[in-house]
Chains A and B, each alone.
Chain A
Amino acid sequence: MEDCLAKKMEITVSEAEKRTGRNAMNIQETYTAYLIETRAVESQSEGQCAPVESLWRRYSEFELLRNYLSVTYPHIVVPPLPEKRADFVWHKLSADNMDPDFVERRRIGLENFLLRVASHPVLCQDKIFYAFLMQEGGWKEMVNETGFQLKADSRLKALNATFRVKNPDKRFTELKHYSDELQSVISHLLRVRARVADRLYGVYKVHGNYGRVFSEWSAIEKEMGDGLQSAGHHMDVYAASIDDILEEEEHYADQLKEYLFYAEALRAVCRKHELMQYDLEMAAQDLTSKKQQCEELATGTVRTFSLKGMTSKLFGQETPEQREAKIKILEEQIQEGEEQLKSKNLEGRDFVKSAWADIERFKEQKNHDLKEALISYAVMQISMCKKGIQVWTNAKECFSKM
């Protein structure tokens, strides 16, 4: 297996910039552009640093890239993009796309996306992806020329297949259920977490009021004055500490969000399988009915009720020549159909095999990442508590000196 791109190249999304320009409908708009920097890793011998290449991309181009990848590699669980609009906000976080904190977190999310694609054994080899990183001009045209949009399955077709498929691979059905539930549980979690953060913020901030009142109180006291004053200062520190704490927690939330969006990617793979399976089933069904028709025409017996049968009964039967012609056509179609069925079967089996391999890879990645995320969350909580202990111990000391 070739080394994936991530090992050969350093990729970063290092900056974000506000831009204004005219869009497709010639309307003035503001958007954010992100600077992608790449540098080859290999040539770092003798202390020489490879040159950094860079170009600017906006979010919509990332979207285009991802759509291309999803359509071109339907058996791969394609990494998701960071959210388009700010979701799961709590009161202090702004829902504004232009808000600098949001932009910063998105920058990190986009970098993460590129790194995920670059470290995927299959995706990293894609030329369009490479061009996305290296070629600023003409990239959009390049993507469109691949004609990937034509390959995309219509949503309606997919929905139809989901309902009508008779024999999907059980593993995919289970996977679909899993991703549905995963999505539901993570979004619930994120919602509650946002509320928890809100409340915690409130608790900390009210303590700041202590700072003020202790200060005022210390003014009228003699022996207690100094103690109160310094304790008040610690209360202020306590109240201010929540801002940093919650900012760190946002990173945790972002990690969870990535997997929330991954659930959709999983479902996409399942849908593709269902579609292929349905196609297969329809083709098989079609073949069977054609064979039957052929047989009926050949033997002249009408086994099943059909309109043809009725009309021919009513309006007289065909001439033998006509019948022969029909049988010939059908036989050709059956031949085609059997070949198609064979290849579809093969396709289907290949798809299942490679999709399942990627899914296993994904599962391992997910378990690893989420475990780390949970651990770092726990570490965050512990550090928050240690800070709390520090502040209150300091305050206690002040009080004891009163």
Chain B
Amino acid sequence: QDLSLPNGTPVDTSSPASSSSLLNRLQLDDDLDVETRDLFVTVDDPKKHVCTMETYITYRVTTKTTRAEFDLPEYSVRRRYQDFDWLRNKLEESQPTHLIPPLPEKFVVKGVVDRFSEEFVETRRKALDKFLKRITDHPVLSFNEHFSIFLTAKDLNAYKKQGMALLSKMGESVKYVTGGYKLRSRPLEFAAIGDYLDTFSLKLGTIDRIAQRIIKEQLEYLVELREYGPVYSTWGGLEVELSEPLEGVSACIGNCCTALEELSEDMTEDFLPVLREYILYAESMKNVLKKRDQVQAEYEAKLEAVALKREDRPKVPTDVEKCQDRVECFNADLKADMERWQNNKRQDFRQLLMGMADKNIQYYEKVCVA
């Protein structure tokens, strides 16, 4: 395997996230079937916990693996949303050059949504399951230390407290150091990605609104249908010969109501959350792009500084090189991630919209039969 970067600079192999090995692994990944995967994670079995201070839900996270990094082939732990949130933050900190999948929304307006309703818990469970599966599929993120701990540790809280002080300081410093530099020129492809993401979120937002509006209209239609059916029944009671057909119509309308209800439910539970998830995804991707910009800016500033000084300080070039390194890393990682993301997204939407079409088809078929 060729471990050098495209521009010939030897790679600092102390960092596990070297881009070319990444790219190679990527290519392998694309050919991977489900059978050759070595890590499987599922989220299920939500349970409610009532404590004196608060009530919350935990989910069971089950892991099956053949990877050497893991001591056991199987793990089963309980995690709550907080833990997922912690994991995500850790991943963002430790892999700032990668696109981290989004989590379902953290805050829900109390009173509007019931946090403990079956539908809400189920929607959240699905989203959390997807979150972990995406990480599992990622060639770099799935090997992240925090991820492994998340999957295996019996007492996550203890570990959290341990790592908190150290890592948070480091994380902060990374942020502040790269702030305050102005970007000279953004490579076209990243500008294009930025524009794309902007338009993409916009369009998804519109689709979300349209879908919600449709659901609302369908529900209002349902209300009227519910009144419509029984009138035929009343009429049927009035007639002699016509009572059978009239009752028949009434029953049919009743069936239509049920089918329509199911359609709306399915749309709310399956379609809308995925849209929202991708919007969140786009948001976090834009943040990563910003960070990338900053890293590049820093690199360029330092380069300039060196050119001005014309000194042969061994430190600076290394510094500059390190920056360049990071930039290249960043760029490559991003590109790779974007490609995966696009692929996945395409498949997700394909499934999603096909699902929507399917549901509508089912609805109509049910109505036909009625």
Known A178-B238, A203-B218, A206-B213: A193·B228 in contact at CB below 8 Å: yes
Question: Contact between A402 and B349 (Cβ–Cβ < 8 Å)?
Answer: yes
Contacts of B365 in A (CB 8 A): 385, 389
> Bound state CA distance, A189 and B242, in angstroms?
16
Of the listed stretches B51-59, B73-81, B166-174, B200-208, chain A binds B200-208
> Bound state CA distance, A386 and B227, in angstroms?
24
> Bound state CA distance, A371 and B349, in angstroms?
46
Known A216-B203, A371-B245, A392-B360: A192·B210 in contact at CB below 8 Å: no
Chain A residue nearest to B211 (CB atoms) is A210
> Bound state CA distance, A227 and B351, in angstroms?
13
Contacts of A188 in B (CB 8 A): 231, 234
> Bound state CA distance, A110 and B94, in angstroms?
81
Question: Contact between B368 and A396 (Cβ–Cβ < 8 Å)?
Answer: no
The total of interchain contacts (Cβ-Cβ below 8 angstroms) comes to 126
Chain B residue nearest to A382 (CB atoms) is B368
In the complex, B274 has a CB within 8 A of chain A: no
Question: Contact between B214 and A378 (Cβ–Cβ < 8 Å)?
Answer: no
> Bound state CA distance, A224 and B200, in angstroms?
12
* Range, interface on chain B: 35 or more
Contacts of A382 in B (CB 8 A): 368
In the complex, A181 has a CB within 8 A of chain B: yes
Contacts of A203 in B (CB 8 A): 214, 217-218, 221
Contacts of A189 in B (CB 8 A): 228, 231-232, 235
> Bound state CA distance, A358 and B365, in angstroms?
44
Contacts of A196 in B (CB 8 A): 221, 224-225, 228
Contacts of B246 in A (CB 8 A): 374
In the complex, B114 has a CB within 8 A of chain A: no
In the complex, A5 has a CB within 8 A of chain B: no
In the complex, A388 has a CB within 8 A of chain B: yes
In the complex, B199 has a CB within 8 A of chain A: yes
> Bound state CA distance, A374 and B346, in angstroms?
46
> Bound state CA distance, A304 and B267, in angstroms?
84
Chain A residue nearest to B229 (CB atoms) is A192
Contacts of B231 in A (CB 8 A): 185, 188-189, 192
Which residues does A use to contact B, with CB under 8 Å?
178, 181-182, 185-186, 188-189, 192-193, 195-196, 198-200, 202-203, 206-207, 209-210, 213, 216-217, 220, 223-224, 227, 231, 367, 370-371, 374-375, 377-378, 381-382, 385-386, 388-389, 392-393, 395-396, 399-400, 402
A-B contact pairs, 9 of them (CB 8 A): A185-B238, A196-B224, A196-B228, A202-B221, A227-B350, A374-B246, A396-B354, A399-B354, A402-B353
The 6 closest A-B pairs by CB, nearest first: A396-B357, A199-B221, A217-B203, A399-B353, A388-B364, A392-B360
